Chains A and B, each alone.
Chain A
Amino acid sequence: MTPQINPLILLFASIFTGNILLTNFLGLCSFISISRDMKSANGLGLAVTVVLTLTALINWAVMHYILIPLNLMVYRYIVFIIVIAATVQMLEMIIDRVSPALYMTLGIFLPLITVNCAILGVALFMQIRNYGLLQTLAFSFGSGLGWWLAIIALAAIQKKIARAPVPAGLQGPGITLITIGFMALAFIGFSGMLNVS
């Protein structure tokens, strides 16, 4: 919790022990609906990692150089969400111009990301835990990778579940949530090694 925490440790902690999805429940909405096939899970994971890192850094700068000096912290929710929406929009346009091929794989996921709780959640955690610039970089990049890892693992498990005899009432979201629960247990098993939150 102290601001002096080593960024490298923070990076690993946010991938494994403090996985944003499995311990903080952030980004679940798109997680459950997208995790059915491997390819889109991969695309979404990449998009989340990129947007998460980018917006966390921009929000960090905006907070420290605009909001705090002007004493406008009350409005941080609105400012953070506008920064996120604007960044996503800009990223979409840039990718469309620079690499149409990448746009095909990434483009459809970008609008979904604006309402992904993980993005705003990381910005708010960064503010509450009072991270410095390097720690913000490590935390946001690690959280993105952790989210990516979790969604790929879940997509792979879902493929097996599709062939398993699941009771009618449990099919769909029910079994997905229970699967996520088991994954969370496995990830939390590491928490004795590193703990930041």
Chain B
Amino acid sequence: MNGETPAAILKSNLWTNNPIFIQILGICSTLAITNNLVNTLIMTLAVVFVTGLSNTTVSVLKSLIPRKVRMIVQTLIIAFYVILVDIVIRAFLPEISKALGPYVGLIITNCIIMGRAEAFAQLNPPIMALWDGLTSGAGYMAVLVVIAIIRELLGAGSLLGYQILGAGFTTWTIMVMPPSAFFLLGTLIWVAKTIMIRKEST
């Protein structure tokens, strides 16, 4: 990973090495709230913020953290930023904070953040680590926002709370239930992988 250009990192994190499609990391904390686009946006923005800043912090402190305890130190750094996010969301968006429930706190155990800290921030300068964190978060966000758009549109006929599909539309109850998130994510991975395989063979 050393010495890569920002553009290469962007492409890798958004597509060829997308945290969700390829690594299947970190879906636990966010998949549950993808039945509503607003919540998904807030939640994934929080993940982008935490990944970017914790990556930077780990990179700045990398020579000071003893190797043996680096996991717990990284966890504490991540927890620090998650607490900031939690306080901000609770102060400015109390309704959404209630809807998100425990899932904001669960960003701490989101494997993407820990994974980027281990794989990238440990070895690279702070600015690159920040960029890597932000783009990883963005790759994660893109996939989940697609899922949220499909689920909210078909499940409630609306987007961002505004009614899009008319009164004649029968809402798909399954789209607001948990199994649909598994089906959609599985299908999206299928599509993405098929495109990747085609590109490789040509």
Contacts and interface: CB of A to CB of B under 8 A. Distances in A.
B143 interface: no
Interface stretch (A25-33, A97-105, A156-164): A25-33
B194 A77 contact: no
Given A78-B83, A85-B75, A181 B31 contact: no
Interface in A14-42: 22-29, 32-33
Interface string B157-188: 00000000000000000000111111101110
A26 B106 contact: yes
Contact of B179 (A24, A74, A182): A182
Interface stretch (A44-52, A61-69, A112-120, A133-141): A112-120
B28 A180 contact: no
Interface residues of B, number: 44
Contacts of B31: 25, 28
Overall SS of chain B's interface: helix
Interface string B68-81: 00001001100110
A57 to B, nearest CB: 18
B186 A178 contact: yes
A75 B193 CA distance: 41
Contact of A177 (B83, B106, B114, B182): B182
A181 B188 CA distance: 14
Given A28-B28, A115-B114, A175 B186 contact: yes
B79 A77 contact: yes
B155 interface: no
Interface of A: 22-29, 32-33, 74-78, 80-82, 85, 115-121, 124-125, 127-128, 167-170, 173-178, 180-182, 184-185, 188
Q: Which 7 A-B pairs have the closest CB atoms?
A: A181-B182, A124-B102, A169-B194, A177-B186, A178-B186, A117-B28, A169-B193
